[in-house]
Structure 1
Amino acid sequence: MDINVILGLIIGFGSLIVAFILEGGEPGALLAVTAAMIVFGGTIGATMIGFSREEIMNVPRLLKIALRERPFDLNQTIENIVNYAVLARREGLVRLEKELDNINDAFLRTALQLVVDGTDPEQTRNVLEQQIYATGERHATGISIFEAAGGYAPTMGIIGTVMGLVHVLSNISSPDKLGPSIAMAFIATLYGVSSANLLWLPLAAKLKNKANKERVYQEMILEGVLALQAGRNPTLIRSTLIAFLAPDKQRAILSGTAAKGGDAGAQALDRKGQS
């Protein structure tokens, strides 16, 4: 589970409630069933209008994606592709067919399957780019659902407040009830603004962040597999793919590669000296 999402929700909503209590407010004063119905019901209804039934039914899966931690280990994937390139240069591309069953990532497995099947490099690129595009479009639709909800929620909060004030003004002959009624009316605005900025929009940002990471991961695999198919040197493939990593990780890999090269050179000199 992505603990950042849970911690963020707890810290965000918890800060609002604790601050309200420190100001002398009663937690029960923040509870308003009618305001919640207007804001959350109205937000969900307005969002449903803008999307198809299939897209709305996909929301639970999107929530699971937002809550699930799925790290993309770029370093290990680079090493795997380099190892595949070594095997391909040594034993031919057909040798990679034995490795397909051991690959868990569907995109990488598809890419290598195209190579093993002897697909034209240009066609391989087209197929994989189409998959990347389709995945990005699917993610964009899911993200837009939460962004739409984040846009509707504050407006629904204002609508709830206006409705509450209408009720207040209709009972203006009872001055002793005006204060609590006005306070209750503004709870709807609180629900709308807080849900938009602490729930809907952050979830959209989380999904967007994960979609960007997946896109970079898939583009790296695309370039690596095409380089492998072209028969490029494994060392050159590694040097090309580390451009997808953050600078600190690039330096770590380069320093590790240099150290391995230095060790290999030293061993070669020792063997030469012994001979």
Structure 2
Amino acid sequence: MDPATLIGMVLAFGALVTMVVMDGASITSLLIPAPMIFVLGATVAVGIASGTIKDALLAVKALPRAFKGKVSPPQAIIDQVVSLAETARRNGLLALEQEAEGVDDPFLKDALQNIADGTDAEELRIMLEDQIATQARSNRTAAKFFATMGGYAPTVGIIGTVVSLTHVLENLDSPATLGPAIASAFVATLWGLLSANFLWLPIGARLSRLSELEVERMTLLMEGILAVQAGSQPRLLGERLRAMVPAYALPQAA
């Protein structure tokens, strides 16, 4: 689990609370139910309206991944592929079928099974590239849903403020209620901006980044597995795969 999103959000809201306390205000002044319900509820609603029901369901299913998404170290992938290359070199490609039984990753498992079945290298590459493209498209849909809500939220907040100020102007003959009413009106704008920049946009960006890392992982596996099928020497294969990974993502030699 990579806790970057959770840490970032806690720090962001922590900074907000710190500012409010240092200004001598009360945090409860920002937690007014009516504008919060309107902004959050309407933002989700227009997010759903901007796509399809399946898009919304896909985004909901992807939400836990934004907080619990696991980033696979490239070196671990390289070591796994090199181990498979050694097995294939020692026992032949048919031995990969047995190796596939102990693999949890569906992408790798399917690739190994196809190699053991004698699938042509070019056909296997096309199939694996299609799987990568499909996975990337699915991930982009979920990320776009949250990014879209991040775009709507500030405007929804302004709508809430305008509606509340309209009510304020209807009650100018009650000066005692003007202060709380105006404060409540601007809380809608506040939560529109907060939800966009502290929730929806970071979640969308996080899912996009995880999608990029997933595509990189699958691509690394694809190139490695195709090289195994071609009979590449394990040590040279490891060096080739490491050359595909940025230096910062690999463990540094002591």
TM-score by length of 1: 0.87
Say which SS state the counterpart of residue 80 (structure 1) adopts. helix
Give 1:135's aligned residue. Answer: 135
Give 2:18's aligned residue. Answer: 18
Structure 2 unaligned blocks of 5 or more = none
Say which SS state the counterpart of residue 104 (structure 2) adopts. coil
After superposition, give the CA deviation of every residue in 1:219-267 in whole Å (9 maximum; x if it has no partner).
0011111111111221221111002333155574xx69xxxxxxxxxxx
Task: Tell me whether 1:49 sits opposite 2:26 in the alignment.
Answer: no
Say which SS state the counterpart of residue 138 (structure 2) adopts. helix
Between the aligned partners of 2:250 and 2:56, the Cα distance in structure 1 is 41
Say which SS state the counterpart of residue 51 (structure 1) adopts. coil
Residues 70-219 of structure 1 mapped to structure 2, 5 A cutoff = 70-219=70-219
Structure 1 unaligned blocks of 5 or more = 257-275
- Displacement of 1:75 in angstroms is 1.1
The answer as to whether partners of 1:112 and 1:225 remain within 8 angstroms in 2 is yes
Between the aligned partners of 1:226 and 1:128, the Cα distance in structure 2 is 10
- Displacement of 1:5 in angstroms is 2.4
CA distance 1:22–1:217, change in 2 (3 Å): same
User: May I ask how many residue pairs the two structures share in their alignment?
Assistant: 254
1:86 partner letter:
E
Say which SS state the counterpart of residue 187 (structure 2) adopts. helix
2:115 partner letter:
V
Percent of aligned pairs with the same residue? 37
After superposition, give the CA deviation of every residue in 1:131-176 in whole Å (9 maximum; x if it has no partner).
0000000000000110011011000000011111111111112233
Bigger RCO (CA 8 Å, 6+ sep): 2
Between the aligned partners of 2:135 and 2:245, the Cα distance in structure 1 is 21
The answer as to whether partners of 2:87 and 2:96 remain within 8 angstroms in 1 is yes
Say which SS state the counterpart of residue 58 (structure 1) adopts. helix
Residues 226-235 or 135-144, more deviating: 226-235
- Displacement of 1:89 in angstroms is 2.1
CA distance 1:6–1:251, change in 2 (3 Å): closer
Larger radius of gyration: 1
Say which SS state the counterpart of residue 172 (structure 1) adopts. coil
Give 1:228's aligned residue. Answer: 228
CA distance 1:2–1:237, change in 2 (3 Å): closer
The answer as to whether partners of 1:97 and 1:116 remain within 8 angstroms in 2 is yes
After superposition, give the CA deviation of every residue in 1:3-33 in whole Å (9 maximum; x if it has no partner).
3222222211121122112111122211222
Give 2:34's aligned residue. Answer: 34
TM-score by length of 2: 0.94
The answer as to whether partners of 1:243 and 1:250 remain within 8 angstroms in 2 is no
RMSD over aligned Cα, in angstroms? 1.7
